[in-house]
Structure 1
Amino acid sequence: MSPILKDIPDMTFKYMDGGRYQLIKRLGAGSYGVVYRARERDLLSGHYVPRAIKVLSLHWGHRNSHLREITMHSMVTGHDNVVGLHRAFREGNFLYIVMDLLDGGDLRTHISKKRTLCRNDALIRNVFLQIIDGVQACHDVGVYHRDLKPENIFVNSDLTRVCIGDFGLSTDATASTSFNTGSRHYMSPDCGVECVDCGDELYPYNTLRSDTWALGILLLTIVTGYIPWNRATIDDKNFRAFLEQEDHLLTVFPISKELNGILRRIFTIIPGRRAVVHFLNFAERFATSIHST
C-alpha cells in the first residue's frame, strides 16, 4: 500500500468545488498523490463529463513540488500525446488537478495483464511512436519528464491514442544533480548513482538523455513484457552482462537484430553518445522488424 494513503483518506463519491466535481473510483496511488476516476458537471448544460482527478496532500510540505508539477504539465498540455490538464484548485489541505480521463487505463495493464501488445509489431510501433511524439513535444518546450514508465503512459480503450502523464518529477533543467529521481528500472546510469561523491555539482546528469534511456527500457518492455535489468549499475549482473557482451539482449529476448541495434544506440554509458528522441522517431518509423523471426 502506498504510504500516501495514510495522509489522503478515501474520497470516493465526494463532491468538491461546490458540486462541480465528484470523485467516483480510486484508480491508483503514487508517492505523492491519489488519482480518481471523476466526473465534472458542465455549468451550462448540466451534463457530466468524465475526468481524472489527482489529489495531492499539502500535509507533507511538498507545496513547491506540487506547483512545479502543475507548471510543467501546463506547459505541454494541448498536445495529442500528452494527458490534457484542465485546471487545478485547492480545498482545505488538498490540491486537486483536473485532467483528461483515458478509458483504457495505463500501459502497464496492457503489457502485463491484458497482453494486448504481445507480438503485434504494427500496434507496438504505433504506440511507441505516439510516446516518442509526446516526449518530443515536452522536450521542445524544455520539459523533461524523468519518470517515463508504463504506469505513466495512458491510453484509450483501443490504444489509438497514447499519452504521457504524471509530471510529478518533471523539470525544466537540462542538467540536474537530483540523482536517483524516478523509477530505478528506468534510470540511466548517470542518474541512478549510488556513491556519495557522485552528488557533486561538477557531475550533473543530462535530463534529456536520461529520458531517452528510459524510452529504451520502455520500448524493450513493450516488445517483450520484461525489463532487461533491475538497475543500470555494475553491481547488477544482467546490466554487467550487457556491457560485456555486445549482443546480450539478442540472447535473452526475442528481438530482431534491427531493434537490438536501436537499443545499443540508446544504452550507452557515455551520455553524449546516447541516441536522442529524433533518432528514435526516425528509427522506429523505418524499422522493418521488431521481433526475431
Structure 2
Amino acid sequence: MLLTPPPSPQLATSLAPEDRLGCVLAGRLELVSILGIGAYGVVYQAIDRLTNIPYAVKALPKAGLDSRQRRFQRREIALHNQASQHPNVVSLLRILDSPDCTFVVIEFCPEGDLFSNITEHGRFVGDDQLAKHAFLQILDAVQYCHSTGIYHRDLKPENILVTNHGHTVKLADFGLATTDSVTSDFGCGSTFYMSPECQQAPTRPYARYAAAPNDVWSLGVILVNLTCGRNPWKKASVDDSTFRAFLKDPKFLSSILPISPELNLILRRIFECDPTKRITLQELRDMIINCPRLTTTSYNNLPPSPPSSPYVYVDSMDCANMALPPSPPASPPPHQQFRPHSSEWSLFEPASKQNSSCSSLSTDSGYESESPFPDAGQRLAPPVFNFYGNVIPLNEHEKPYYAQSTYAPTVAAF
C-alpha cells in the first residue's frame, strides 16, 4: 500500500513545453500544439502521421522526482490503464518512454471537459435528458472502477471529458486514485466535492474512512452541477452556512435550486452524512433511471412537478455566489501557461477550477482545444507497459476495442 503522496516535486527539465512541438514520437505521433500546462507536466495534441487521427499526449517529466514520486507516477498510469477497459473512461493507449520524460498517449476529446461544457457552452443545464444520460455514463464508469478495486477520489467536472456533442462523457485523471478501500488520506481531492468524513481532521491515531462512499458523495455534487449549473455548497462542513441549512431541513436544496421533488429525494440519499447509510451506486443508478424529472426548469416535455415550498433561511453571500456569471472568460490559448485562480467565495464559476490536494503527481487531464479535428472514433487495445525500456512503437494494425469489451455506453431509459 502506498501511503499519503509526498509533497509536490520541484520539477526541472532542460526543455520548455514549446520546445517539444514538432517532435515525432515512435516515428508516427507528431506533437502539434499545447492543450494545457500543469504543475506536473504538459498535455499536447498529437497527430498520427499515417492515419491523421488526433491524440492527446501527457508528458510527465522525470527530472526532480525521487523514487517514491516515481512510484506514484507509475501507479497513476497503471490504475488508469486498468480502468480504461470501460468505454466511459478515457482510453490510455500507449506509454512512450524517453530519457527525460514519460509520454502517456490517451484518446483526444476535442470538446474539452465537463466544467467548460457547463460554464462556457451552456450544455446539460436545462436539458434533463442529456444531463441524465451524461450522469449515468459517469456513474457506470465509477461503478466499473469500484468493481475492479479502484477508487478515484477526485471526481469533479474538470476530470470528465466530453465528446460526441455532449452525448458521451469519459472519466479521466487518476492521479489521486487508490486501491485502498479504507484510507487515511483526509482532505484528498477538491473541497467542493469532498464528503464530510473526508474533510474532517482525524480525531484519533490510525483514523480511516471508506473510499467508495466518498466517491458517491462527489457524484452527488456533479449531479447538481449537471442539472443546476452550480454547487450545493462550498464545503460539506458545519462551518459552511449553506451546508448547515441543509442539515437542518431536508427540503432546503429544493428551496434554493430548481430541482424536482424526486431529485431532491435522491440527493438526500447521496448526501447522507453517515457513510454506512449512504446510497450505493447500484441504488443510485436505479433511482436516476426511474426519476421522471430532474428539474423544474427543463425544456424537455416531461411531467410537471409540484412547486417547491418557500424557505426563508439562506445566507445572502452564499446564495449570491452559487449563481453562475453570465460571461465566463475564454479558455487560455494553447501556448499560454495554465494558472488556476483560486476564489474564496466562488462556487462554480470558471475561475473556480480547483487544484486537487493530496497528490504528488496528479496532472489535470481536463484539457480544451480549439482545433477542428474530429474525435478518434475508436478505442484501441491497452498497451503492454514498458516504463523504463525503449520507446514502444504504435502497431500498424490495431484491434478495435469494442470487439473485446462486454461494456457498452449507457443508454438512459427516459
RMSD (CA atoms): 2.0
Give the drift of 1:199: 6.8
Q: Does 1:143 align with 2:150?
A: yes
Give the drift of 1:60: 4.4
Give the drift of 1:18: 4.6
Q: Which moved more, 1:106-115 or 1:92-101?
A: 92-101
Q: Does 1:73 align with 2:80?
A: yes
Structure in which a larger fraction of residues adopt strand: 1
Separation in structure 2 between the aligned mates of residue 258 and residue 166 of structure 1, nearest angstrom: 31
Separation in structure 2 between the aligned mates of residue 256 and residue 4 of structure 1, nearest angstrom: 46
Q: Which moved more, 1:93-102 or 1:266-275?
A: 93-102
Q: 1:260 aligns with which of 260, 264, 275?
A: 264
Aligned to 2:382: none
Unaligned runs of 5+ in 1: none
The percentage of aligned residue pairs carrying the same residue is 36
Q: How many residues align?
A: 284
Letter in 1 for 2:51: H
TM-score normalised per structure 1 = 0.91
Aligned to 2:205: 200
Q: 1:169 aligns with which of 154, 168, 176?
A: 176
Q: Secondary structure at the match of 1:48?
A: coil
Separation in structure 2 between the aligned mates of residue 261 and residue 279 of structure 1, nearest angstrom: 13
Higher relative contact order (CA 8 A, sep 6+): 2
Letter in 2 for 1:271: P
Aligned to 1:15: 23
Structure in which a larger fraction of residues adopt helix: 1
Kept in 2, the 8 Å contact 1:76–1:138? The answer is yes
Separation in structure 1 between the aligned mates of residue 106 and residue 244 of structure 2, nearest angstrom: 41
Greater gyration radius? 2
User: In structure 2, do the counterparts of structure 1 residues 273 and 48 end up closer, same or farther at CA, with 3 Å as the change threshold?
Assistant: same
Q: Deviations over 1:202-255 (max 9, x none)?
A: x21111111000000000011111011111111111111111121110111010
Give the drift of 1:30: 4.0
TM-score normalised per structure 2 = 0.65
Aligned to 2:333: none
Letter in 1 for 2:84: T
Kept in 1, the 8 Å contact 2:251–2:264? The answer is yes
User: In structure 2, do the counterparts of structure 1 residues 275 and 102 end up closer, same or farther at CA, with 3 Å as the change threshold?
Assistant: same
Aligned to 1:94: 101
Give the drift of 1:17: 3.0
Give the drift of 1:118: 2.2
Give the drift of 1:23: 2.1
Letter in 2 for 1:32: Y
Separation in structure 1 between the aligned mates of residue 40 and residue 269 of structure 2, nearest angstrom: 34
Aligned to 1:182: 189
